[in-house]
Amino acid sequence: MYISNSRRKSEAVFLVFFILFLLFILRLCYIQFFRSNYLSELADKQHNLFVELEPVRGTIYDSASRPQAINLAADSLYASPRDIKDKEAVIKKLSGILGSSYAYLKDRLYRNKSFIWVARKVTPEQSQAIKNLKIKGLGFIKESKRTYPNSYLASHIIGFAGMDNSGLEATELNYDIFLKGQPGWAVFLRDARQKRLDLWQKMVLPKDGFDLVLTIDEVIQYIAERELDKAFKKYHAKGASIIVMDPYTGAILALANRPTYDLNNPSGVTKDKTRDRAIADMFEPGSVFKIVTASAALEEKKVTEEDKFFCENGSYRVGAHVLHDHTKHGLLTFREVIEQSSNIGTVKVAQILGPQIIYKYMKLYGFGSKTGIDLIGEISGVAKEPRQWSKISIASIPIGQEVGATAIQLACAMSVIANGGNLMKPYVVSAIKSRDGEMVKKFGPQVRNKAISADTSARMTKMLTGVIEEGTGKMAKLIGFSAAGKTGTAQKIEPNGRYSHSKYIASFVGFAPAEEPIITVVVMVDEPRPVYFGGVVAAPVFKNVAGDVIRYLKTKPVSRQEFVLNESTKITR
C-alpha cells in the first residue's frame, strides 16, 4: 500500500513537470514563431538609436566672397521618455533652464517613445547647464544653426532659414533646393544603461548643400542701406526702397527696404517688415515715367529736342480733366519740358504720338510684365492696353498716372537708357558652387528685348543730364562725376478712388557717370513728411549713394568685359 501511494505521488509529480515542460515548449514555440519580430524590434530599440544626420546648408557669399549666411554648430536636446523615472522633477529643472512651459515639456516627456526632440539648437550656456544635471534619458546631438553675420544687412535679398534649415524667405527660399542638401542617417549602439556609444551599425552620410554667390557687394549694400535709413527716419516715411544695379548686365549690386528686420531673430516679425517692397509693392511712378514718353517721341522721330511747346502757364484742359504743372511754364523746348518735368508739355508730346505708340514703348520698357528677377514675390504691375484707356488717359498715362510700377521695373527701365537701349533681366545670384569650389551653375546677363536705339539712348542721356544740371534734380548732382536722372512725385490713391493731397511717393531714378554708366540707382520713399517732392527727398539719397559707390568701384579693378548674349546681341561696357 505504501509503495502504491509513493508511485502515485511520483507519477503526479512527473505529470506536473511534464505539463509544465510542455507549456514551456509551447510558449517557446509561440515566442519563436509569433513574437520573435516584436521582441527583436524591442531589443533593437533598447540597444540601437536611429539618428537622422543633418547636411550642412550651403553658405551664401557676396560678390567678393564675403560670407552673408553661415552655419555654426549647436547642441540639440533630445529625450528618451521611457528611461526617465522622475519626469516631474526633470520637467521642473528643464523649464528653468530652457524657459519652456510646463505643458510643453509634459507633452514631450510623457510620450511612450525612445526618442523625441525637447529643444533644438540651444545656447551653449543652456547646453552646459543641462549636461551638469546628468539626467538619465537626456542627450544631445550636434546640429548646424543658420547664422547671419551682418544681421539686418541685405535681409530682403538673403532671407532666412527655419529651425530645420529649410529656406523661408527670399534667396534662402528661392534656392532652397540647392542650399539644403540631402540628409543622411545612422544607427548608433547603446549600452545596457541606454547610453549612446560612439559606435554605429549602419550609416548613410548626408550630402551637403551647394554654396551661392550673390551679385550684391557687401560694401555697396551698406552704403545703400545707410543712406536709405537716413531718409526713412528723417522724413518719417511709411516705407522706402533702394536698388543699385549694373545697367549693362542686370546684376543687382544692392537692394534694401525699410522697414527691415534682423535675420538672426525673425520670429514674430510682421509681413510688413519681411515684404520685399522693391519687387512686391506697386505704385504710380509719376514723372519718372516721362522717360518712356520722351524716348518714344525721339525714337519715332515725332519730336526733336529743340521743338517748342506752349505749356499753357500751368493749366491745360484735356476733355473734362484740367491738367496742372507744379510751376507755371510758358514756351519750353522739348528738352526743357523734360528738365523742368512739365506735365502739360509731356502730354502735348503724347497727343502727337497717340495711345498705340505710348503703349508700345511701355511694353518695350517692361512695364506690365515681371522682370524675372530671381526673388520670391515679384508682381507684374499694370500697363493698360489702349482699348482700356478712358478719354483722359492720354493726359494721365504719359506722366505716370494710371500706371502701376515696381522699383525693380524702374531700375530696368532707366538702365535701358544707360546701356544703349537693351532691357536687361535683373538677377541676384551669379553662381552656384559645390563645397570644394567646383562650379555647378553660372548665371549671367540676359537681354529681354531691344527697347530703343543707341542714338535715342544717347540723346535721352543728354536730356536727363540736364534734369540734374538745370532742372528738378539739382539736389542729385554729384561732386566730381556727371549723372543723369529723373525725379518723380506721385500722389497716392485714397480708398475712395481719388488722388490724395496728403500722401505722396517721392522717387528718383538715375545713373552715373552719365558718359560711361557704372550703376543705375532707384530711390523710392513712401509717404514722406512734411516734404514730399522727389527732387528734395529722394534725389539727395541718389547723390550720396552714387557718389560713394562710384568712388568705391573706382578702387576696384574693372574688367572691360564683353558679354556675348546671343548671336545677334552683344553688350560692351
- Pick the closest to residue 195 from 413, 49, 38, 365 (CA basis): 49
Contacts of 501 (CB under 8 A, 6+ apart): 491
H or E segment and range at residue 5: helix 2-30
Cα separation, 69 vs 147, in Å, equals 6
CA dist list (Å): 287 to 161, 233, 338, 514, 534 = 39, 24, 9, 20, 9
H or E segment and range at residue 554: helix 539-554
Is 65 an annotated catalytic residue?
Answer: no
Q: What angle do CA 271, 272, 273 make, to 5 degrees?
A: 90
Catalytic residue among 76, 80, 241, 287: 287
The grid coordinates listed for 187 are 544607427
Cα separation, 413 vs 366, in Å, equals 7
The grid coordinates listed for 443 are 548665371
First to last CA, the chain: 125
**Pairing state of beta strands 67-79 and 138-147?**
antiparallel
**Pairing state of beta strands 116-122 and 239-245?**
unpaired
Q: Which residues of 387-403 are buried (b: 16+ CB within 10 A; e: fewer)?
A: eebeebbbbbbbbbbbb
Catalytic residues: 287
